[in-house]
Amino acid sequence: MTKLTKALVLHSGGIDSSVCLALARKPFDEVISISVNYGQRHAKEMAYAQMLSSHYAIEHREVEISTIPTTMLTDPSKQLPEVSYADLPSGISPTYVPFRNGLLLSTVASIAQAEEADAIYFGAHAEDAQNWAYPDCTPEFIGSMANAIFIGTYQKTRLLTPLMWMMKRDIIHLGMELNLPFELTWSCLAKGTKVRCLSGLHPIESLKVGQFVWGWEENELRWVPTRILNVFDQGVKEVFEVTLHDKAGNYKTFEATADHQIALRDGGYAMISDLSSGDRLQPSNPSLVRVGKNKIPYYMIKPHNLWDEKPVYMHRYVAEFFGTLGEVVHHKNTDSLNNDPDNLEGLRWGVHTRRHFDAERSNSPEANQGRSEKVAAHWWQMTKEARQARVEAIREGRRENHTVMKIQKSGEKPTWDIQTGTGNFGIGAGIFVHNCYKGGEYHCGTCPTCRSRHNAFMDADGADPTTYEEIPNG
């Protein structure tokens, strides 16, 4: 039997092709990673391909193709559709690049001929072939290309597609079995995801380094303010939509890549690909109350997320955290929902009363800045039926905040991520999500989950675990 000695991997730097790279290392003596730049908007993944190749001490090459037709995935001026795969009719996906995989495989086959390679690994999987959304991922297409490559290389090179009948969840599990370093893949959230900052909810793409967001302190098990260390535009990625509910008629959704980790209610994290209907997630959702004759809105939180815990005012909790607590905590710009430390100051009762008296007497527009548009629907704005459902759920002990209802593929969309001091942050869907990847450069190292997981990956390859510098919260 002829020994297989060399394989090429068509390697975009995403999860699927990275799993193929890990698989190819076992049966072949020599593996070469080939990344093709055809002007794609998610070309950042190619940096991951380089880093993963270096991790495995594998040669990495980049090839340029400049003649591929302009499509949504190659033209930044075109708007990607805000629609899930489930809502698309059968037929070609709007993000389909005409015959892309045919061009990429032909390019790699040409290199394989020159290199006298025995095989080409290609990471097509079952979900991309569903409803013929991407015809160049279907078994019919792959079979035809395999025959063409085998014949065109004088029956030397075979096309291998080990993931062809697998779903994304199965691919990620296989990667974990292979000790694939997921910290070297792009895990991210869809553009437009609202992040729970101390100043309110803001789209992830609008955030700035140094801004404060809410994080979950894993050692003390409580909410803490934490700074944004980095903001990353991660390019166009395949994302999944997760729908959450609380069994009282409230539904929220968010979108992220399949490998993004979500904080669980009972501790720890799980990738979206591992979540199931009924899983309970760690809440990051404050309550809203109105105080006084003017019905001024304030946020309240249960810092440790315990059911029987007494709620506290968010602004007082923040002021105490930063050491600015006074008899009264005053919002400088009178926006009572902006709890950024720069907007808070501790005052004595008399001084605080005088401030509000002067503001009301001046009748300035700033006196009520930002209040009306930021007040969300709450108890008094619910219908009678919704209020009754909430009461019954609480009485029966069956109210489970932020429970997974369903997960579905949502298409390819622009994605972003941020790095924080706690290794996680709250989002508008009312949960905490992990951010254990710092732009693909290195693991965050700020939480036990990341550190132990990364060390296990490094140990599996016989390398010394990385030593991280501690990044203080806040």
Q: Are residues 378 and 273 in the same domain?
A: no
pLDDT at 384: 63
Q: Are residues 16 and 86 in the same domain?
A: yes
Q: Are residues 390 and 426 in the same domain?
A: no
pLDDT at 99: 85
55-94: pLDDT as tens digits: 999 999 999 886 655 544 444 555 545 555 455 555 556 5
**Looking at the domain assignment, is residue 467 inside a domain?**
no
Boundary-marking domain end, from 395, 420, 443: 395
Q: Are residues 146 and 10 in the same domain?
A: yes
pLDDT score of 184 more than 90: no
Q: How confident is the model at residue 312 (pLDDT cuts 50, 70, 90)?
A: very high
Rounded Cα–Cα distance for residues 274 and 259 (Å)? 9
Say which range, 37-41, 60-64, 403-407, has the weakest mean pLDDT. Answer: 37-41
**Looking at the domain assignment, is residue 126 inside a domain?**
yes
pLDDT at 292: 82
Q: Are residues 54 and 160 in the same domain?
A: yes
pLDDT score of 137 more than 80: yes
Q: Are residues 175 and 79 in the same domain?
A: yes
**Looking at the domain assignment, is residue 1 inside a domain?**
no
pLDDT score of 175 more than 50: yes
More confident residue, 244 or 95: 244
pLDDT score of 308 more than 50: yes
pLDDT score of 467 more than 80: no
What CATH number should be reported for the domain holding residue 149?
A: 3.40.50.620
- Residue range 429-447: average pLDDT? 61
Q: How confident is the model at residue 140 (pLDDT cuts 50, 70, 90)?
A: very high
Say which range, 361-375, 399-413, 422-436, has the weakest mean pLDDT. Answer: 361-375
**Looking at the domain assignment, is residue 229 inside a domain?**
yes
pLDDT score of 133 more than 60: yes
High-pLDDT (> 70) share of the chain, %: 72
Q: How confident is the model at residue 49 (pLDDT cuts 50, 70, 90)?
A: confident
Q: How confident is the model at residue 400 (pLDDT cuts 50, 70, 90)?
A: low
Instruction: Determine the structural domain holding residue 21 and report its residue range.
Output: 6-180
Q: Are residues 159 and 233 in the same domain?
A: no
Boundary-marking domain end, from 379, 395, 411: 395
243-267: pLDDT as tens digits: 998 666 678 999 998 888 899 988 8
Domain count, the chain: 3
pLDDT at 115: 94
Query: Mean pLDDT of all residues in the chain?
Result: 79
267-305: pLDDT as tens digits: 888 889 889 998 999 999 899 999 888 888 999 999 998
**Looking at the domain assignment, is residue 473 inside a domain?**
no
pLDDT at 42: 53
Boundary-marking domain end, from 142, 158, 180: 180
Q: Are residues 215 and 318 in the same domain?
A: no
**Looking at the domain assignment, is residue 470 inside a domain?**
no
**Looking at the domain assignment, is residue 452 inside a domain?**
yes
pLDDT at 6: 96
What CATH number should be reported for the domain holding residue 445?
A: 2.170.16.10
Q: Are residues 247 and 216 in the same domain?
A: yes
Q: Are residues 327 and 381 in the same domain?
A: yes
What CATH number should be reported for the domain holding residue 344?
A: 3.90.75
| Phi, psi dihedrals of residue 395, rounded to the nearest 5° | -60, -40
**Looking at the domain assignment, is residue 474 inside a domain?**
no
pLDDT at 255: 95
Q: Are residues 28 and 153 in the same domain?
A: yes
Q: Are residues 433 and 329 in the same domain?
A: no
pLDDT score of 449 more than 70: no
